[in-house]
Amino acid sequence: MQACYITGQLPATPVQFQLPARIPIISRIKRSMFCARAESSINLGPELDVSTLDCSNRMFILGMGYVGQFFAKDLLRQGWVVSGTCTNSIKKKELEQKGFNIHLLDAYNLEWKITQILKHYTHLLVCIPPVVGIGDLMLQQEEFLKSRLVDGNLQWLCYLSSTSVYGDCKGAWVNEDYPPNPSGKLAELRLDAEEGWLRLGADLGISAHVFRLGGIYGPGRSAIDTILKQEPLSEGQKRRTSKNYTSRVHIADICQALKASIFMPTSRKIYNIVDDDPASREEVFEFAQQLIQKRWDALTERTDLSNGADVPEAERIPVGEKRVSNALMKEELGVRLLHPTYRSGLQTILDHMNGHPFCYAI
Ligand SMILES: NC(=O)c1ccc[n+]([C@@H]2O[C@H](COP(=O)([O-])OP(=O)(O)OC[C@H]3O[C@@H](n4cnc5c(N)ncnc54)[C@H](OP(=O)(O)O)[C@@H]3O)[C@@H](O)[C@H]2O)c1
């Protein structure tokens, strides 16, 4: 029987840092400098039969990507039963080696089997993004999903959305009551997906939330990692460099907010999950560069942050200027941000690099 630890309090455990999924090739850092992976494994086994477990906290994560893995690890350490999905068998194997219970899911073809498994879980986190031209893949079969879950154990669901649904607000502060005005196709589909998941939650009679996340960063995915990998900015990034304000949030604070919404139920459906400091990307990269140079002076060349100046005006992506307010997240969910600004977030990421770039202390 799976032991289960249930608490009404927000756990104060620090986030557990992971190594990034792929080790970057940096010519100036020898292979031997990389640390070995040192993760503790809480192996529930690939063929976990949840219906036989006596545990009232069971989380199913649709899409074990960046957020899914961090959150899963956090919950596992607190005694939850956690399972999740990915799309291919290589990743499934990798995730199972990390101790996760994983099911393959191609959301283009939602199968009876996965819904049969899902209905044994009490909580559902949706991390799969919508697809342009289609929308939310799971909700393409909303009625089927509803019919499968209606007599199940689900009590809570949360759909991870994006602050992109607000569109361009000319730099104004926006809260959850600000009328969404998505300016691109994907953001429109996000809004549809938000409505769909809230509708499903209401139809099932369960607690359902939408979290509008700012740009997600954390160990393995941050300005520090981008600079150390010496990756050029993507075309999309270049076209967005002129943005004055970018909402962002550290992965540890997303996990905090998720747990808060589980343990402190509220009637509100939608929350902005962002930090206090919607600084420009240039400012964040400049700070990351300074941190790196202080730590490994001889190691890195300065990354050219002027990229984008050569992008023709017509090709620039609408920047959607806004400053997203997190007041409700603090007032109603009681979240006290671990990283109110990118400064503490990046500093912590650097501090947990165990002596060498890309080696995170566990
Ligand atoms: N990145 C940001 O800054 C940001 C900001 C705001 C909101 N968001 C949104 O927040 C959510 C979580 O973010 P994240 O960074 O954790 O995303 P992520 O790392 O990209 O993970 C997405 C997950 O969705 C799964 N997925 C994608 N297509 C699928 C399909 N056809 N069928 C089944 N599963 C599929 C992926 O499967 P595999 O594991 O097999 O790849 C992956 O597990 C996403 O919706 C993301 O778009 C992201």
Q: What is the pLDDT of residue 239?
A: 58
Cβ of residue 15 lying under 6 Å from some atom of ligand 1: no
Q: Residue 219 C-alpha to ligand 1 middle, in angstroms? A: 17
Q: Where are the domains of the chain?
A: 56-351
**218 DSSP assignment:** B
Q: Say if CB 187 and CB 162 are below 8 A apart.
A: yes
Q: Residue 295 C-alpha to ligand 1 middle, in angstroms? A: 32
CA–CA distances in Å: residue 299 to residues 30, 84, 291, 305? 11, 38, 12, 18
Q: For 225-260, give one letter per residue: b (16+ CB within 10 A) or e.
A: bbbbbeeebeeeebbbbbbebbbbbbbbbbbbbbbb
Q: Say if CB 300 and CB 227 are below 8 A apart.
A: yes
- Nearest residue CA, atom 3 of ligand 1? 215
CA–CA distances in Å: residue 184 to residues 13, 101, 136, 215? 38, 36, 15, 17
As to burial, measured by CB atoms within 10 angstroms (0-12 exposed, 13-18 middle, 19+ buried), residue 294 is: exposed
Q: Residue 54 C-alpha to ligand 1 middle, in angstroms? A: 30
Cβ of residue 84 lying under 6 Å from some atom of ligand 1: no
Q: Is the dihedral of CA 68, 69, 70, 72 positive or negative?
A: positive
Query: Parallel, antiparallel, or unpaired for β 58-62 and 81-86?
Result: parallel
Q: Residue 129 C-alpha to ligand 1 middle, in angstroms? A: 5
One-letter identity of residue 324 = V
Tell me: the pLDDT tens digits for 294-348? 988 755 565 555 445 555 555 555 557 899 999 999 999 999 999 999 999 999 9
Q: What is the pLDDT of residue 15?
A: 33
Q: Say if CB 206 and CB 212 are below 8 A apart.
A: no
Complete DSSP assignment for 333-362:
H----S-SSHHHHHHHHHHTB-SSTT-B--
Mapping DSSP to helix (H, G, I), strand (E, B) and coil, where does residue 221 land? Answer: strand
One-letter identity of residue 184 = G
What values do phi and psi take at 275, rounded to 5? -90, -170
Cβ neighbors of 81 (< 8 A, separation 6 or more) are 2, 4, 44, 48, 50, 53, 55, 57, 58, 59, 101, 121
Q: Say if CB 127 and CB 65 are below 8 A apart.
A: yes
Q: Which of 139, 34, 96 is nearest to 353 (CA)?
A: 34
Q: Which of 216, 222, 275, 284 to mutate to test the pocket of ligand 1 (most atoms within 8 A of CB)?
A: 216
Cβ of residue 289 lying under 6 Å from some atom of ligand 1: no
Instruction: Return the CA Rg of the chain.
Output: 21
Query: Which atom of ligand 1 sits closest to the CA of residue 105?
Result: 33
Q: Say if CB 333 and CB 256 are below 8 A apart.
A: no
What values do phi and psi take at 75, rounded to 5? -70, -40
Alpha-helical (H) ranges within the chain are: 66-77, 89-97, 112-118, 142-149, 185-204, 223-228, 235-239, 251-263, 281-295, 327-333, 342-351
Q: Residue 128 C-alpha to ligand 1 middle, in angstroms? A: 5
CATH number of 56-351: 3.40.50.720
Q: Residue 68 C-alpha to ligand 1 middle, in angstroms? A: 8
Q: Say if CB 6 and CB 57 are below 8 A apart.
A: yes
Residues of the chain short of pLDDT 50, as ranges, are 1-46, 306-307, 362
Query: Which atom of ligand 1 sits closest to the CA of residue 63?
Result: 43
Q: Say if CB 214 and CB 345 are below 8 A apart.
A: no
Cβ neighbors of 170 (< 8 A, separation 6 or more) are 321, 322
